Amino acid sequence: MNEILDKISKAVIEGDPDSIGMLTESALSKGLTAEDILGKALMPGMDYVGVEFREAKMFVPDVIFAARAMQASMDILTPLLAEAGAERAGKVVMGTVQGDLHDIGKNLVCIMMEGAGFEVIDLGKDVATEAFVEAVKKEKPDILGMSAMLTTTMPAMHRTIEALEEAGLRDSVKIMVGGVTVTADFAQQIGADGYASTAPDAADMSKQIVGV
């Protein structure tokens, strides 16, 4: 059993979406559950990728390939996880703020959070304040993540936090912010709960927030 899980984990690390589907099906046929495969193969694989990325031993293309491999397995596992009522680490709503069309960093954060076991609702880029508020109201996430790559769009983060306060939703969700131009001081000034400078750091902080 461990051998097949090791092979799935290796397929994530090597960014091999072609073989991971067959390996996933094989693991299921051997009696492993979708939760086993997620928790004992996919997540450890992405954890490894995160550590290597943080230490500059792997790079953005490597993370993207790893994510594609993981997604190929998750396409098979997601219906089974839902059917079994498997618990996820938590739920995260993510988006790049209004006026900002950059999404590579945000996409990497989504990848790392999914690899850490979170359900991720990706609102995309150029997300209006109202859309963030509606998503928090509808999805009831544990965490709201906002990204900004431009100094001119950073104020949208503050406006969104103020809008959540006005809607009576601020206390229901933890807010994380990040992006090239964002700093820990800025996060504190606008009342965010956390700041992460890299995608692996964002995933680690998310786990700390929900206590996993």
Q: What is the per-residue pLDDT across 88-119, written as a single tens digit (0 to 9) for each? A: 889 999 999 999 998 888 988 998 888 888 99
pLDDT at 91: 95
pLDDT at 120: 93
**Domains in the chain with CATH codes:** 2-84 (1.10.1240.10), 90-210 (3.40.50.280)
pLDDT at 129: 98
pLDDT at 71: 87
> Does 212 have pLDDT greater than 80?
no
| pLDDT mean over 36-43 | 92
Q: How confident is the model at residue 160 (pLDDT cuts 50, 70, 90)?
A: very high
Average pLDDT, the chain: 92
> Does 1 have pLDDT greater than 70?
no
pTM above 0.85, yes or no: no
pLDDT at 114: 85
Give the pLDDT confidence of 173-209 residue by residue, as tens digits.
999 999 989 999 999 999 999 999 888 889 889 999 8
pLDDT at 197: 87
Give the up-direction half-sphere exposure of residue 72: CA atoms within 13 A in the CB hemisphere.
21
Give the pLDDT confidence of 46-92 residue by residue, as tens digits.
889 988 988 999 988 898 899 889 889 988 998 888 787 767 889 99
